[in-house]
Amino acid sequence: MIDPPFLPAGDDAAPDPAAFTALADRLRALGHPARLAVLHTLARENRCVCGEIVRELPLAQSTVSQHLKVLGEAGLIRSRAEGARTAYCLDHAALAALRAEIHAVFDLLLRQGANEPAAES
Amino acid sequence: MIDPPFLPAGDDAAPDPAAFTALADRLRALGHPARLAVLHTLARENRCVCGEIVRELPLAQSTVSQHLKVLGEAGLIRSRAEGARTAYCLDHAALAALRAEIHAVFDLLLRQGANEPAAES
DNA sequence: ATCGATCATCGTTCATCGACGATAAACGAT
DNA sequence: ATCGTTTATCGTCGATGAACGATGATCGAT
């Protein structure tokens, strides 16, 4: 169902640098507490108008709108104009795909059990 | 085994903003292609000296050292001075913990199956 | 037709990031 | 003791990020 574009070939195939870039872009979109809070709100409310999110965060409307734009450009949320308002909702498919990619990366990083070459710091 | 500090209480408990910040910090550390490449190299080689990583990336030594510092401050890798060199390796425990936190977040975001309130964009 | 509400965008400001070269410190070997 | 190697740090530069207020466009209702 989900198509994992990360490392489609063998395990240790040299990962396409573009794949790293595409994944990093979305991880960076997640890498801000306000955006995590926005996603959490959208998950709880299922569908939010911008003003509702503004009311939940200690940020100006323009700042929230900017964060929504970042999340939209990362493809993690979708928007729909409804009269004077704009409704936002999670893009479940995109989030599921991202989860799969992240899962694959962590599998790659943690594959062979904990080797501990006596690291100190 | 792994302690997931994310949302220890009920599902819809208001998430501690500090939890968002802590998670966002590590996600941001992952949100750069060079750092993903570094992690991938460390996973493959299990233990790398800085120069080896420099040889794999089209970046100056000082830049790579900076990325290693970011990853270290995020707690994702560990370092050990060995003579004139410094060996780096993944912090498997920290990565496993992060994976668990990310997993919890995505579970939260994707919990109730795909609701599609007719989003257009 | 006007008004209030809603939201995206613009312009600005300050801080942080990402990259580099240069430098200095630490070490092993000569 | 000196030299070459390795790496962390410093200073710099340009670009990007994050935040805000102000503005303007769009819409519903009056």
pLDDT at B18: 87
Cβ contact, residue pair B17, A37, below 8 Å: yes
Strand C contact with A103 (CB < 7 A): no
**Higher pLDDT pick, A84 / B119:** A84
Cβ contact, residue pair B114, A121, below 8 Å: no
Evaluate whether the domain defined by A17-108 bears CATH number 1.10.10.10. yes
B38 touches chain A (CB under 8 A): no
- In chain A, the residue whose alpha carbon lies closest to the alpha carbon of B103 is A99
pLDDT at B5: 53
Q: DSSP strand E in chain B: where? A: 48-49, 77-82, 85-90
- Which of A2, A11, A12, A36 to probe the B interface (max B CBs under 10 A)? A36
| Distance of alpha carbon B49 from alpha carbon A76, whole angstroms | 37
B94: how many CB neighbours lie within 10 A of its CB? 15
Cβ contact, residue pair B115, A46, below 8 Å: yes
Nucleotide nearest to A64 (CA to C1'): D19
CATH code of the domain made up of B17-107: 1.10.10.10
A99: how many CB neighbours lie within 10 A of its CB? 19
A93: how many CB neighbours lie within 10 A of its CB? 15
B20 touches chain A (CB under 8 A): yes
**Contacts of residue B53, Cβ cutoff 8 Å, sequence gap at least 6:** B38, B41, B42, B64, B68, B88
Residue ranges of domains in chain B: 17-107
A-contacting residues of B 67-96, CB under 8 Å?
A: 72, 78-80, 87, 89-93, 95-96
Phi then psi for A33, rounded to 5 degrees? -55, -35
Tens of pLDDT, residues A35-73: 999 999 999 999 999 999 999 999 999 999 999 999 999
B104 touches chain A (CB under 8 A): no
Q: Which of A3-7, A94-98, B24-28 has the lowest mean pLDDT?
A: A3-7
Tens of pLDDT, residues B45-78: 999 999 999 999 999 999 999 999 999 999 999 9
- In chain A, the residue whose alpha carbon lies closest to the alpha carbon of B114 is A92
Residue A120: exposure state from Cβ atoms within 10 A (0-12, 13-18, ≥19): exposed
pLDDT at A117: 47
Nearest-by-Cβ selection for A89 from B91, B98, B117: B117
**Contacts of residue A26, Cβ cutoff 8 Å, sequence gap at least 6:** A74, A75, A76, A98
pLDDT at B1: 55
pLDDT at A113: 54
Per-chain mean pLDDT for chain A: 88
Positions of strand C less than 7 angstroms from a protein CB:
4-11, 17-22, 25-28
**Higher pLDDT pick, B120 / A20:** A20
Q: Which of A68, A65, A74, A81 is nearest to A95 (CA)?
A: A74
Provide the percentage of residues in chain A whose pLDDT is more than 90. 76
Name residues 17-36 of chain A with a Cβ under 7 Å from nucleic strand C: none
Per-chain mean pLDDT for chain B: 88
Cβ contact, residue pair B109, A117, below 8 Å: no
pLDDT at B31: 98
